[in-house]
Amino acid sequence: MRQPLIEAGFHAEVFNLSLFGSDADEPCYRCLYPEKEGAFSCTLYALELEEAHAIPAIQNTAAVLAGLQAEAAIQWLHGDTSLRNKRVYGNIHTMALHAVQLTPSPTCPGIHRHSANPSPLLVNISADELLEHLLRMVEKELGPSQIRFPEDLVMRNFCTRCNALTEAHTPAWKWLLSPRCTNCGGPFPLAAEHRQVASKAGIHTNEEDEVRNLTCHEAGLPAGTTVEVWPDKHPNEYYLLQLAGTIDELMISC
């Protein structure tokens, strides 16, 4: 946790690059974008264009921006933080660049508070174990608590091609990469009859819900994931718990 974020985007010849600092009191991505926009699948987009017999434009801007992102990361690793909490705007046609200072938003939905334990506590729960086991462990150690998932968990949602209800059981970002049922070439099986659309942002240790019977991985918590735990007895502070696993396992799972 508390790692910097280098975020970037582009449209045609214009681009922007932001470097967010790693402290809780610094501006974050959600300060600029309070609403969640979701994910976008480049692969799915390319396949749809191929079906339409179209060729997507080659984005020179993307290549330039990728190089600038790499340079920003290298400079940070070498101790140069001159771009910290700044956004750079550029145009590859005019070769113009200008930077602006970012400030925290008072209405940011993110967390601008320090955790009660800055370094995540490693717990002996694997991603293959039921979420029920993690909930029991948390309640034993911290009392009744709310566990917040890193990303909203889509339990069931409609296929965007045939409108059939699917059993997604996946984080929202992964659902949005290919929101289709298996009949339409997607990864999600059809739901049983009389099931309802459902999603979860988190779960309380006292809450009886079907999500408890999922494995941690199915609930969007792969090996090595860090989760926020908000104990009822300390409503203004949270704890960070990390599931067993390495950063390599986490990257492969995601």
DSSP string, 177-237: HS--BGGGT-SBPBPPTT---EEEEEEETT---GGGGSBTTTTT--TT-EEEEEETT-TT-
Nearest to 40 by CA among 18, 15, 9, 73: 9
pLDDT value of residue 245: 84
Quote the DSSP letter at residue 25: T
Amino acid at 96: A
pLDDT, mean over the chain: 88
pTM > 0.85: yes or no: no
Structure tokens at 136: 């029991």
Is CATH 3.40.50.720 what the domain over 5-101 is classified as, yes or no? yes
Hey, where are the domains in the chain?
Answer: 5-101, 121-253
Amino acid at 47: L
Q: Please tell me whether residue 162 adopts helix, strand or coil conformation.
A: coil
Give CA separation, 200 vs 118, 140, 172, 234, in Å: 26, 23, 10, 22
pLDDT value of residue 58: 64
pLDDT value of residue 247: 67
Residue 185, CB half-sphere, CA atoms under 13 Å: how many?
7
Fold of 121-253: 3.10.290
Below-70 pLDDT ranges, the chain: 1-2, 36-41, 55-58, 247, 249-254
